[in-house]
Each structure stands twice: as structure tokens, then as C-alpha cells.
Amino acid sequence: MKDSFKYFILATAALALPAVSRAGEESDSAITTLREVVVTGRRVAPPEIIPAQVLSGDELRRLNSNSVADALRYFSGVQVKDYGGVGGIKTVNIRSMGTNHTGVVYDGVELGNAQNGQIDLGQFSLDNMEALSLYNGQKSEILQPAKDFGSAGSIYMRTRKPHFEAGETWHMRATVRAGSFDLLNPSALMELKLGSRVTASLSAEWLTSTGKYKFRYRRVNPAGELAYDTTAVRQNGDINATRIEANVYGTLNTGTWSAKVYNYNSERGVPGAIVNNVWRRGERIWDNNSFAQARYTGYFGKFTSLNNVKYAFYRTHYVNNDDKQVKIDNLYKQREIYLSSANEYQAADWWRISLSYDFMWNTMSADMYGFAKPDRFSHYLSAATALDFKRFKVQASALGTFIHDELRGQESPADKKVFTPAVYLSFNPLRSTSDLTLRAFYKRSFRMPTFNDLYYADMGNSKLSPERVTQYNVGVLYNRTRRGFVSAVRVSADAYYNKVRDKIVAYPKGQQFRWTMLNLGLVAIKGVDVSGLITINPVRDLFVTVRGQYTFQQAIDVTNPADNYYRDQIPYIPRHSGSAVVNAQWRGWGLNYSWIYVGERYNQQENIRYNYTQPWYTSDVSLSKDFSLGKVRLRALAEVNNLLNQDYDVIINYPMPKRNYRFTLNVEI
């Protein structure tokens, strides 16, 4: 029992945010948004074969979101696991393949976590976020670090970069948010022009909240009589966090460079599961995550080189102070070094090739009994090519991954060598216009067993193999922008089939809740993602945008016909889910309504009534007003979340907040 318990803690508690370097700023800024195609540098980044789902700029800011995780709920094919509250852990699962298959890239740098492979996206603020993009498979771009070819799905977060008009030398922005849960969240951003070719930004943020909110459990018996109805206050969900980030950007005759230093420091309570007779727990986590990264992109005629370097240090301190349970006081430290060089050559107008090599070193130490001290050396080598025949485009890539783990005082497990190819195709069937695109991809990818899977005291299994995923996707996109009553229309639909092999699952050994990890699972996923967007301009100055997405997923466990959950939908994956957003803008006023729907799910493998979890759907509303006082621009925003006061759990026994409020004031000079 204690083993699984500790593992759970380690898995959930130690969501440090490691890092890896990734991607060029050119590719990042080449995201095709509705309104513009931003192109920087000299190399005009080719449009992506399969465009990302993107939320950016004002649209992102209007979405009543506390964190990046909240905003990602508006993407199709995505399930967010949310343990509730401001400080609750939030992880993302793309197309049911599992959180560990999701790559998360922060300003061109992949965040990683060698310990448990999960990134807590609740830790990432939207305060200085410029755009969020979601790619199924990889970004269809060949000039990118080798590691970027590796994930089954990727989320790219891009922060705001300074842009100065002629004569400007500085910008400043200050924001304060306050609201329910005793939330107070001031932040500031300073942007400076340090010279004709160098700019800098400094961003800082403080977040504090008691995390207290009312939740309610109500049951009726089948005759409709009330069985119980209780409302309580969520305890031990407090958070106190700071984020400091500094960036420098420069241009040279032969390219561009940038550097970033980042620190996130938090103390959080872990609210824990609400079970009979237990309404508060005594667990706390301190996270201190820092990284520094630098990038240089060089342009030499037909040759482009993108180079990244990064160092990261993550420290997690977990304490359980509950008198009724075993005392735990553990310190986990992770370090990471990452070097990457991606190189592209334009062989002809229609033909580009690239070669990338990444090296990464991860290490971890934990002051607990039986945890091996692993060092992991990873080498990634990728080759890719892109062919552009105007209406028909092809990209193919191949990634070789070589991983060697070294343990102090123990025999090291066998080295892992994995080869993963991907092919992306797109085709414009109409000769007259490029509004309509057909697309398809095939991709193989894998995830390495994490340090916890392999080396965690007693339950780790150093013989684990990588968990492998194969994806097939076909889709269609219609995208049109013009002047008039309907100013923009975008509709896309994709159908996909994924297979997860050698899925790493916890398997019981012996008595007393003892577990080990085995490559046992086999999951087949069939899905359809549909999304649409329309902007209309019914009268002068009034713009109404409606955005919707729907996801159908059948994700079934096909491991063993003898299991009583054979061919049952896997836990926490709804068959139906979707969202809708309606936004109206009129002369500085903005009104936003968003609705999120997650259909019925099962909270364990077996699809029986005891594991049934009801659908949930929430409505959020916000009203904003922009105005100017001379050179100073102000924005006031009022939000109401969970307007209809629904009592729901995303994860069983982790109740979510009832109706709550937030107010934001933003000043920009």
C-alpha cells in the first residue's frame, strides 16, 4: 500500500518542469494565424503542410483561462486532466495516447521531465504568452531540432517578443488579477531597445491564492429522494508562486540570436482526494525550476543552421505532514543539459533537406531509500526532406534515438535504440484556389520509460522497453479570408487511427498494493476531430467570431481477451467532447462566451456503472473594455467561470470549483 501511495506522490508531486532545447524562432513565428503570416529573418519559412491549431493574441486573452492548461481545453483531440483549483496539477493528453507522449515546447525549447514524463501545464501562466499551438504528430517543418521529430503530439508555447516602432525605446505593461479563491496575481513586463540590433524583455509575476473553494456532493436514491447533500470547502489547495523571466534578442549580419533565463518558484498544498471521513490532507510541495537557454540561427545562402543550448535544474521538495500517515520528506533534484544543431539545405526551389543532431544528458537524485541515481545520455539524429510541387507537398523524416542509462553501484539496463519515421502529405485539389487542402500523415513515435518507471524503489522495472505509438491521419481543411459580411471561414476535419503498443502499466506483484511496471498494454484509438471558425461583420465595427470543435474518440483496451475490461474505453477518455466560443467585439468592448463539454467517461478500466463518471459542461463569460488615456492603454476585464454553478469532478474525488469570479486590470505604455 505504501509503495503505490508513495509512487502516486512522486508521480504527481514531482512535476518539475525540465527542459530541452528546440525549434527555431522562425518556425515558431511562422505559425499561420487567421489574420497574418508573420515572417521574420531572411528565410521565408514555408507554410506548414498540416497547420497547427492556434490560439493567439487577443483571442487567447479573452478565453477566461487561468493557465495554459485551461486554454488548451479549446483544442480538439485534447483531454486535460485537472485535479482542481489554482494550484491543482493539470496535464494534457493528445488523442488518448497518454500524457507522456505529449511534447511541450516553450519558446523553441522542449520542456521535459525525465522523472515522470509529465509536464504540469497549470504552472504556465498566460500572462506573457503570445500564442499556443497544437500539432498532431510533429510540426511539419524540417528545420527543427531532432528531438522535435520525436513526440506523438506537441504543444508549442510562444511568449511575447518585443517589437518597436520607429522612435520607441521601451514598453511597459502591468497587470493585476484578483478574484475567487483569494486570488491575487500581479505581473509586470518591461521591454527595452538596447541598441539598433538588440532588444530585451523582463517579465515577472507573483501568484497567491488560498485555493479555498466550495464544492458540493449530492446524491439521490433511485426513487428521487435526497440521500445526502453536503457542501464543504476545499482545503490545503493554497499556492504561492513567482515567475521571473528575462530574454535578450539580437540580429547579426548572418542571422539572429536570443537567450532566455527562467525561474519558477512555488509552494503548494496538495489538496488530495476527498474520501469518506477525510476532508483535508497534509501534503505540501515546493518547486524551484530554473533554466537558461540560448539559440543562434545562421543564414548562409541556401544553407540555414539552427543551434540551441540549454541547462536546466529542477528541485522538488515533497513533505507529508499528516499525523495519520507515514511521514515523508523527500528532495528530488533533476539536471539537464541539451545541445542541438539543426541544418537545412535548399537543394532546389522545390526541394529542401535537413539533418539534425541533439544530445541530452539527464540526471536525477532523490534522498529516499532504494532510488537509483540514474544518468541518462540521449542522442537524437534526424534526417528529413521536403518536396514542394505547389499543389502537392511531401515531407518525410526519420529519427534515430539512442539512449544509454548509467546507474551508480548497479548494473545499467540495456541501451535503447529506436527508429521512428514520419511522412506528411498535403494536396490542393482545386486548381483555381488554395482554400481547400487535403492532408494525411503517418507517424511512428515512442516514449522512453521514465526514471520512476525504471528505478523507483521496489516498483521500478529496469527491463522496460519504450512504449510505442503508430498514428495514421487523414483530413481536410477549408480556409478562406475575405472582406464582407463573412470575413473568415475555417473548417477542418480529421480522422485518425492510433495504436499504442507495449504500453507501460502498473502491474500488481504480491500482496499489499505492491506494484511493478510492465510493457503490457495495447490500446487502439479511432477518432474524429472537427473544428470550425467563422467571423462575421454584420454592421460596421461589430465583429462576431464563433469557434467550435468536436472530438469523437473510441480508445479501447485490446490487451487481453481474458481481462474483464477487454475492448472497454480506457479511463477518463470521453467518447464525445467539444467546445464552443462566441466572441463579439464592438468599439473597444468585448464580450466572450465559452462552453466546454466533456461527455461521460469511466474512471477505471472496466466500463461498469460503478466506474461511471457523468458528463460535465461549463459556461464561462467575460466582458472587457479597452480605452486609452493619452499614450496609456488600459483594459478592464471581468470574468464569471462555471456560470451555471455545476458541481463536477474531472478526476474522481477531486471536486472542481463552483461558480467563481475574476477581475483583471491591464495597463500598457
Partner 1 sequence: MVATGCRDDELVVPTEYDIVPETMAADSDIRGFYLVNEGNMGSNKCTLDYFDYATGLYARNFYAERNPHVIKELGDVGNDIGIYGSKLYVVVNCSHKVEVLDARSGVRIGQIDIPNCRYVRFYRGNAYVSSYVGPVLIDPNAPKGAVYRVDTLSLAVTGKVTVGYQPEEMEIVDDYMYVANSGGYRAPEYDNTVSVVQMYDFKQVQQIPVGINLHRLKKDRYGKLWVTSRGDYQSRPSRLHVLEKLPGYNRMAVTDTLDVACSNMAFFGDSLYYYATEWNNFTASNTVSYGIIDIRTRKVVSTNFISDGTEAEITIPYGIAVHPETGDIFVTDAKNYVSSGTLYCFDRHGRRKWSVRTGDIPAHIAFLPR
CA distance 497 to 184: 44
- Helix (H) / strand (E) containing 231: strand 226-233
CA distance 221 to 224: 5
| Minimum CB distance to partner 1, residue 369 (Å) | 6
User: With binding defined as CB under 8 A, does residue 284 bind partner 1?
Assistant: no
Q: Which stretch binds partner 1 (CB under 8 A): 307-315, 506-514, 585-593, 634-642?
A: 506-514
Q: Is 192 exposed, middle or buried (0-12, 13-18, 19+ CB in 10 A)?
A: middle
User: With binding defined as CB under 8 A, does residue 1 bind partner 1?
Assistant: yes
Q: Are 328 and 284 spatial neighbours (Cβ–Cβ below 8 Å)? A: no
| Minimum CB distance to partner 1, residue 330 (Å) | 12
Measured from the Cβ of residue 350, the count of other Cβ atoms closer than 10 Å reads 12
Q: Are 413 and 444 spatial neighbours (Cβ–Cβ below 8 Å)? A: no
- Nearer to partner 1 by Cβ, of 169 and 512: the residue is 512
From the list 219, 483, 540, 587, which residue makes contact with partner 1 (rule: CB under 8 A)?
219
- The Cα-based distances of 52 to 73, 147, 367, 509, 544 in angstroms read 15, 18, 42, 43, 23
Nearest to 179 by CA among 201, 212, 205: 212
From the list 228, 411, 485, 587, which residue makes contact with partner 1 (rule: CB under 8 A)?
228
Site residues for partner 1, window 642-661 (CB under 8 A)?
Answer: 646, 648, 652-653
| Minimum CB distance to partner 1, residue 647 (Å) | 9
- Nearer to partner 1 by Cβ, of 438 and 506: the residue is 506
Q: Are 338 and 315 spatial neighbours (Cβ–Cβ below 8 Å)? A: no
Site residues for partner 1, window 590-629 (CB under 8 A)?
Answer: 597, 599-600, 603-606, 608-610, 612, 614-617
- Nearer to partner 1 by Cβ, of 5 and 359: the residue is 5
Number of residues in contact with partner 1, rule: CB under 8 A? Answer: 66
Q: Which stretch binds partner 1 (CB under 8 A): 133-141, 293-301, 381-389, 505-513?
A: 505-513
Nearest to 447 by CA among 416, 481, 489, 421: 416
From the list 169, 230, 242, 434, which residue makes contact with partner 1 (rule: CB under 8 A)?
230
CA distance 112 to 622: 34
Nearest to 460 by CA among 378, 364, 524, 556: 364
SS3 at position 375: strand
One-letter amino acid for residue 378 of the chain? S
Q: Identify the bridge partners of residue 620 per DSSP, sorted by sequence position.
A: 594
From the list 302, 327, 408, 482, which residue makes contact with partner 1 (rule: CB under 8 A)?
327
Q: Are 101 and 525 spatial neighbours (Cβ–Cβ below 8 Å)? A: no
- Nearer to partner 1 by Cβ, of 195 and 222: the residue is 222
- Nearer to partner 1 by Cβ, of 58 and 600: the residue is 600
- Nearer to partner 1 by Cβ, of 265 and 603: the residue is 603
Q: Where are the beta strands (DSSP E) in 271-414?
A: 283-300, 303-320, 328-348, 351-366, 374-389, 392-407
Q: Which stretch binds partner 1 (CB under 8 A): 17-25, 320-328, 334-342, 487-495?
A: 320-328
From the list 35, 197, 302, 463, which residue makes contact with partner 1 (rule: CB under 8 A)?
463
List the x/- string, 164-203, binding to partner 1 by CB under 8 A.
----------------------------------------
| Minimum CB distance to partner 1, residue 276 (Å) | 4
From the list 166, 196, 301, 323, which residue makes contact with partner 1 (rule: CB under 8 A)?
323
User: With binding defined as CB under 8 A, does residue 273 bind partner 1?
Assistant: yes
User: With binding defined as CB under 8 A, does residue 561 bind partner 1?
Assistant: no
User: With binding defined as CB under 8 A, does residue 485 bind partner 1?
Assistant: no
From the list 44, 184, 278, 430, which residue makes contact with partner 1 (rule: CB under 8 A)?
278
- In sequence order, which residues have a C-beta less than 8 Å from that of residue 20 and are 6 or more positions away? 109, 110, 111, 112, 147, 310, 336, 338, 358, 360
Q: Are 286 and 267 spatial neighbours (Cβ–Cβ below 8 Å)? A: yes
| Minimum CB distance to partner 1, residue 570 (Å) | 12
Nearest to 439 by CA among 195, 135, 54, 60: 135
SS3 at position 99: helix
User: With binding defined as CB under 8 A, does residue 541 bind partner 1?
Assistant: no
CA torsion angle for 393, 96, 77, 610 (degrees, to 10)?
160
CA distance 248 to 166: 19
CA distance 411 to 407: 7
User: With binding defined as CB under 8 A, does residue 227 bind partner 1?
Assistant: yes
3-state helix, strand, coil in the chain (%, to 5): 5, 60, 35
From the list 510, 539, 561, 631, which residue makes contact with partner 1 (rule: CB under 8 A)?
510
User: With binding defined as CB under 8 A, does residue 509 bind partner 1?
Assistant: yes
From the list 563, 625, 661, 669, which residue makes contact with partner 1 (rule: CB under 8 A)?
563
* CA contacts within 13 A on the Cβ side of 617: 11
- Nearer to partner 1 by Cβ, of 206 and 566: the residue is 566
| Minimum CB distance to partner 1, residue 409 (Å) | 15
* CA contacts within 13 A on the Cβ side of 593: 8
User: With binding defined as CB under 8 A, does residue 564 bind partner 1?
Assistant: yes
- Nearer to partner 1 by Cβ, of 155 and 656: the residue is 656
Q: Are 277 and 284 spatial neighbours (Cβ–Cβ below 8 Å)? A: no
| Minimum CB distance to partner 1, residue 281 (Å) | 10
CA distance 217 to 213: 13
List the x/- string, 8-47, binding to partner 1 by CB under 8 A.
x---------------------------------------
| Minimum CB distance to partner 1, residue 552 (Å) | 12
- Nearer to partner 1 by Cβ, of 326 and 430: the residue is 326
- Nearer to partner 1 by Cβ, of 80 and 270: the residue is 270
Q: Which stretch binds partner 1 (CB under 8 A): 107-115, 179-187, 212-220, 660-668?
A: 212-220
Name the phi and psi angles at 339, rounded to 5.
-130, 135
List the x/- string, 353-392, binding to partner 1 by CB under 8 A.
----------------xx----------------------
- In sequence order, which residues have a C-beta less than 8 Å from that of residue 655 and are 6 or more positions away? 84, 215, 216, 217, 234, 274, 647, 648, 649
User: With binding defined as CB under 8 A, does residue 220 bind partner 1?
Assistant: yes
| Minimum CB distance to partner 1, residue 227 (Å) | 4
- Binding residues vs partner 1 (CB under 8 A): 1-2, 4-5, 8, 217-222, 224, 227-228, 230, 272-278, 323-327, 369-370, 458, 461, 463, 507-516, 518, 563-565, 576, 597, 599-600, 603-606, 608-610, 612, 614-617, 646, 648, 652-653
